[in-house]
Amino acid sequence: MIGRRRFLTIMAAAAASTGSVGAAEWRGRALGTDARILIRGGAVSARIIAAVRAEIERIEQVFSLYRESELVRLNRKSRGRVSADLAAALTLARNVHEATEGAFDPAVQLLWQGLAQPAGKTASTGLLAFAGLRQNGRRVWLASGQALTFNGLAQGLATDRVAALLTKHGFDEMLVDMGENKAIGTDFKLALADGRAGSLGRITLRAGRAIATSSPDALRFPGGQSHILGPQGQVPRWSSVSVEAGSAALADAASTGFVLMDRDAIGRAARRLGVGPVRLVDFEGNLTAL
């Protein structure tokens, strides 16, 4: 499997859209991808950077599938009391799963495991339905043989958590990018791109809004299949989908599910979830906004 490519995501412009004041910048890694924070008109101390790194580490201890995380333990044991972060992610996932009529489904982890093998074997789709998971507050029971992945929302959740942390520390104008983008306190100019169509121009991400981009070309398995897997055998319908929402986690999950849906179904789901605008790029490079 190749590393996840970022050329399909939103790329931050050098400064806030309001113009002249520069931005302090921090770059690092989060959940296996490049991370970036722009803080307008202020420096970032070593103490704050340490706090950001600690928050990223805490989130990875919950959601990573490449270490002994809380999610790995839940998949192994199939039940247990989960953290507030994982419980919130499960609740959000269920909302998006229902709004997308099952297109967004964290239970595709079994398919991931099969496709990651050299032979490209897949698991039976009969084991995959996220609807089979039971949750009562922070108590969770997986269906028999079920395993979860939160690759479709964890980067957005990390973006939200880091933005909240920095706000708590007194920063009020910033752009946080932990794989998805969230603007706090001011608007930011962003460049939108697609791997097939190239540059799609600039947009303005308004203060308090987040944006996430998903694409089947961002990462592929050895056999060539996209990392965005249809739980009922759906295939990607769009080269990329960008979604704006009030939270980066919601934008992340919605954009992942929307890749597998037709335009009318996306419109219904977007209204139900309260997200938008939604920007769709088809495989011929045509851009449509809903």
Predicted local distance difference test score (pLDDT) of residue 115: 66
Band (124; pLDDT cuts 50, 70, 90): very low
Q: Is the pLDDT higher at 183 or at 130?
A: 183
pTM above 0.85, yes or no: yes
Structure confidence by residue, pLDDT tens digits, 149-185: 999 999 999 999 999 999 999 999 999 999 899 999 9
What does 16-31 look like in DSSP terms, one character per residue?
Answer: ETT-S--EEEEEEEET
Which among 140, 144, 152, 98 is positioned nearest to 124, based on CA atoms?
144
Q: At what angle do helices 263-273 and 248-258 cross, to 10 degrees?
A: 160
The rounded distance, in Å, linking the Cα atoms of 268 and 129 is: 21
Predicted local distance difference test score (pLDDT) of residue 12: 45
Band (65; pLDDT cuts 50, 70, 90): very high
Q: Which helix or strand (DSSP H or E) is residue 190 part of?
A: strand 188-194
As given in the structure block, the two tokens for residue 201 are: 């121009």
pLDDT of 1 over the 80 cut? no
Spacing of C-alpha 196 from chain mean position: 21
Q: Which CATH superfamily is domain 4-289 in?
A: ApbE-like domains (3.10.520.10)
Which among 161, 193, 172, 149 is positioned nearest to 30, based on CA atoms?
161
The rounded distance, in Å, linking the Cα atoms of 283 and 230 is: 18
The rounded distance, in Å, linking the Cα atoms of 76 and 103 is: 24
pLDDT of 27 over the 70 cut? yes
